[in-house]
Amino acid sequence: MVNIYLSGFQGVGKTTYGKKAAAVMKWPFFDSDEMILQKYPAASVRALCTVIGEGQFRLIEEEVIAEISNPKKAIIDNALISLGGGSFEKESNRCLLASSGTIIYLYKPLEHLFEELKKRPLPIYLASYEDFIPLFRRRHAHFSALAAEIISLEEVTEEHILNRIASYAQQ
């Protein structure tokens, strides 16, 4: 089984770049958040979290990650998969993902992510924008530690990003 996983924070473009790169690679594309919403219909991940709470959402996310990454249970193979921003919160998810494919971290610096975050409704797991700083540091450490490549989205073209992602399909 060979999957390529796109990791990174909410709003960095994992789904947008993922769909485009998958088309270039001629690979199927999946979005773990969309897979969750197929199983548990809601208007959005935010809406689902509001109803069931972040803890229950993370359990559902863990189920979906097991389905897409566990070699004994995998329902997806040779695909490009965009992961939710919190997918790396659980160590079990990190282990499954690292052992079943290549992880690419789409990176934006904290200050740019913070500006993006201000344009959106505050995620339910953040009480304030200031709570984002420790969250960024924790998740950045997880993403960076497991990434085969960190693609900085600053001052690069979309073509460069897509080519870097697609290059892993040939490995």
Domains observed in the chain: 3-170 (3.40.50.300)
* Report field, pTM of the whole predicted structure over 0.85: yes
Q: At 54, list the tokens.
A: 């972040």
C-alpha 118/C-alpha 17 separation (Å) is 22
Q: What are phi and psi of 156, to 5 degrees?
A: -130, 155
**Tens-place pLDDT, residues 35-84:** 999 998 888 888 898 899 888 999 999 999 988 887 666 566 789 999 99
Q: Per mean pLDDT, which range of 12-26, 69-83, 97-111, 114-128 is the poorest?
A: 114-128
Q: Supply the pLDDT for residue 133.
A: 87
pLDDT band at 1 (very low <50, low <70, confident <90, very high): low
C-alpha 151/C-alpha 105 separation (Å) is 6
Half-sphere exposure of 117 (CA within 13 A, CB side): 23
Residue 113 has pLDDT above 70, yes or no: yes
Helix (H) / strand (E) containing 106: strand 101-107
Neighbours of 157 (CB within 10 A): 8
